[in-house]
Amino acid sequence: MSKPIYIINGPNLNLLGTREPEIYGSQTLADIETLCRNAAKANGFKIEFLQSNIEGEIVDAIQDAGKKGVAIIINPAAYTHTSVALYDAIKAVSVPCIEVHLSQPAARESFRRRSFVSEASVGTISGFGANSYLLGLQAVFDLLKS
Ligand code: DQA
């Protein structure tokens, strides 16, 4: 059986739909999961989609992806800007990682300009709302097919 693409979501993304919709849009995380599942299926891939508010659980998910997955798409949310542990976890696994964001952090508060996760990722897609996930998936499909 083929290994899945892990799509890992960080803190507060469980609140999408009601959380600052003017910044993050009105789609829920479940809506985004459905979009990702359909896109993966149409391209012959499986996904493992998860969310946690807990940094250590996200580290565990990255390690699981390294053992049981083919690639990682991660929206690390606020841990983007703070977490050496996520940087180290991504560096420790050999599967490619693509960072995605709904908003464009570089155009927001100055504390959002630093991303520890970018420094360990193949690339970053941000600012396109839920479409950032689909663009991230397209990047993974291309990487895995090449
Ligand atoms: C976010 C951007 C982060 O700066 C923020 O902390 C989030 C969401 C995004 O998807 O736009 O929680 O990752």
**pLDDT tens digits for 81-120?**
999 999 999 999 999 999 999 999 999 999 999 999 999 9
Q: What whole-number percentage of the chain has pLDDT above 70? A: 99
Q: Is 144 helix (H, G, I), strand (E, B) or coil?
A: helix
Query: What separation in Å is there between the alpha carbon of 102 and the centre of ligand 1?
Result: 7
Query: What separation in Å is there between the alpha carbon of 101 and the centre of ligand 1?
Result: 6
Nearest CA to ligand 1 atom 6: 78
d(CA 107, CA 100): 15
Q: What is the pLDDT of residue 91?
A: 98
pTM as predicted: 0.97
Which atom belonging to ligand 1 lies closest to the Cα atom of 78? 6
Q: Give exposure, 95-128, as e/b (b: 16+ Cβ within 10 Å).
A: bbbbbbbbbebeeeeeebeebbbbebbeebbbeb
Annotated active-site positions, please? Answer: 24, 101
Q: Does pLDDT of 1 surpass 70?
A: no
CATH code of domain 5-145: 3.40.50.9100
Does the beta carbon of 103 lie inside 6 Å of ligand 1? yes
Enter the tokens of residue 131.
């479409």
**Domain-wise residue ranges, the chain:** 5-145
Residue with structure tokens 């979501």?
9
